[in-house]
Structure 1
Amino acid sequence: MADPLTVDTPDDPRLHDYTGLTDVDLRRRREPAEGLFIAEGEKVIRRALDAGYAMRSMLLSAKWVDAMRDVIDATPAPVYTVDPGLAERVTGYHVHRGALASMQRKPLPTASDLLRTARRVVIMESVNDHTNIGAIFRSAAALGMDAVLLSPDCADPLYRRSVKVSMGAVFSVPYARLDVWPKDLAAVREAGFTLLALTPDERAKTLDETAPHRMDRVALMLGAEGEGLSARALRAADEWVRIPMSHGVDSLNVGAAAAVAFYAVTAGRPQA
């Protein structure tokens, strides 16, 4: 534990982890390659620490030092204080929550590791919007889904926006990436899961008709906003399911649809 260090120049190399946080392409390359992710806000930082992620450093505005004093005292990582204007110059945006932490990533489990013990799994195909990723993880955690599997082209759940929208739920639900899409869905089925593809297609059964909460092991497949699941993914599913719509609405956005479907999958089942 060391006292916070005041930094007054935006190009200080000690702030390297926090530079250009609004440059999505840069962060997509840098963060996985350098083994880090950014946690924003007091609650998210605390949840990352509680989930066992190691802190690399913390960046605070001065008024947040007292609120984070217990974290500062408990961590060997350096803590830097900056004024809000300097924080904005470094990160590229107004850090209104006043606290950022650079955290060390953990190795991801394999899909087979997760499938051994999970009963209710989310599978995402090509979900590239970080807000949707965060919202889906938050609903998955809140509604009792056990694990998330991602197609190779899904966005990073540990990208700052995803973590923030999920309120740290990305730390609560284990996830893995499937290597070959959609071929690796066969391994999910072989593990005893029924693959349910969520689609607005009228040929799909409603969730009530399908009654996924009565199935022993369920893998719910979700596609990207707008495009939905690809034809290849739909062909790989065991069944198609839909949420019945009213008042001329054709579909919900993927975050809202996920929450409704997760409830249908988990309703009436004991929470782990």
Structure 2
Amino acid sequence: MDLIPIDDPADPRLADYRDLTDVALRRALEPAGGLYIAESAKVIGRALAAGHRPRSLMVQEKWTADAAALLAAHPGVPVYVVSATVAESTAGYAVHRGALAAMHRPELPSLEETVADARRVVILEDIVDHTNVGAMFRGAAGLGADAVLIGPRCADPLYRRSVRVSMGTVFQVPWTRLPDWPAAGELLHAAGLHLAALALTPDAVPLDAFASDPPRRLALMLGAEGDGLSRRALEAADTIVTIPMSGGVDSLNVAAASAVALWALRPRGRARRG
């Protein structure tokens, strides 16, 4: 392991952690494909286990043993050892978990590859809050979804906050980006998925009724806070489903709603449609 002490937050070797925003990291032309930042040993470990390649690590001295363990299969990756003060000055926030890694972005798989054997898929349309995206990936992983598909304007699952909130499950659940509607609907139907839109409409089917005999292969569609799913998304849906509410509340936070629906629609026993 190549340990490199650095005591100056302006050191050019820390540029990946300092000079680029998450959007700029994603769009960087060098290295090809761009970068993302993973935070904490647990999240970095999950990224490495998923086959993602590290470009460098920035760690505080007390975390060097963890860095050595993480990089056992990646000799030659530089590890920049910094103080807590330098880490905060460089990253722009307190790095409480002691380690950051600049990771190469992997090439996204095709939609067909991502959903080939999936029985439960989650679709995120125009969800721009990174915390919600991370929470929905965590729910998808914990509640048995086989894949996540994100629309063209959805927030980046590899944004630092999304990764952190997901506890690294963005590396565990297969995901890729969808084209816009109606092309997305055509591809999903061609893949054999029943599209169930979670929305508040007069003709929506209550979740418990829909869950009593769900399709065998199902994609659950969720839209942004407030606006919900777009008209074109609803037009592509095979069924519109709603979570019955009480107490004068009309809906749940989108991450909470996705967890409730995934639990209710988890595969079990025999299912009605192929």
Q: SS of 1:209's equivalent? A: helix
What is the identity, as a one-letter code, of the residue corresponding to 1:62? E
Deviations 1:105-155 (A, max 9, x none): 111001122232212111111011110110000100111111111111111
RMSD: 1.8
Q: Does 1:27 align with 2:30?
A: no
- Aligned match of 2:101: 101
Q: Distance in 2 between matches of 1:227 and 1:20?
A: 34
Using the TM superposition, give the Cα deviation of residue 218 of structure 1 relative to its aligned residue in structure 2, in angstroms.
Answer: 0.3
Q: CA deviation at 1:246?
A: 1.3
**Following superposition of structure 1 onto structure 2, how do residues 88-167 of structure 1 map, counting pairs within 5 Å?**
88-167=88-167
Alpha-carbon separation, structure 2, partners of 1:8 and 1:87: 9
Q: Give unmatched runs, 5+ long, in structure 1.
A: none
CA contact (8 A) 1:31 1:37 kept: yes
Residue identity over aligned pairs, in percent, reads 53
Q: Secondary structure at the match of 2:115?
A: helix
- Matching residue of 2:208: 208
User: Stretches of 4+ moved more than 6 A in 1?
Assistant: none
Change (3 A) 1:269 1:121: farther
Given that 2:38 and 2:101 are in contact with CA atoms closer than 8 Å, whether structure 1 keeps it comes out as yes
TM-score by length of 1: 0.92
For residue 100 of structure 1, what is the amino acid of its counterpart? L
- Correspondence for 1:47: 46
Q: Distance in 2 between matches of 1:269 and 1:43?
A: 35
| Aligned residues of 1:223 and 1:254 also touching (Cα < 8 A) | yes
Q: Is the 8 A contact 1:121 1:220 kept in 2?
A: yes
Query: Residues 9 and 86 of structure 2 are in contact (CA less than 8 Å); yes or no, is this contact kept in structure 1?
Result: yes
Relative to 1, partners in 2 of residues 1:198 and 1:70: Cα closer, same or farther, differing over 3 Å?
same
Match of 1:172 in 2: 172
The reply on whether 1:226 has 2:248 as its aligned counterpart is: no
Distance 1:41 1:181 in 2: 37
- Distance in 1 (alpha carbons) for counterparts of 2:229 and 2:239: 13
Unaligned runs of 5+ in 2: none
Does the Cα contact within 8 Å between 1:126 and 1:151 map onto a contact in 2?
yes
**Residue in 1 that maps onto 2:55:** 56
Q: CA deviation digits over 1:41-87, x for unaligned, max 9?
A: 11101111111111111001112123333224443210011111111
Q: Distance in 2 between matches of 1:72 and 1:109?
A: 25
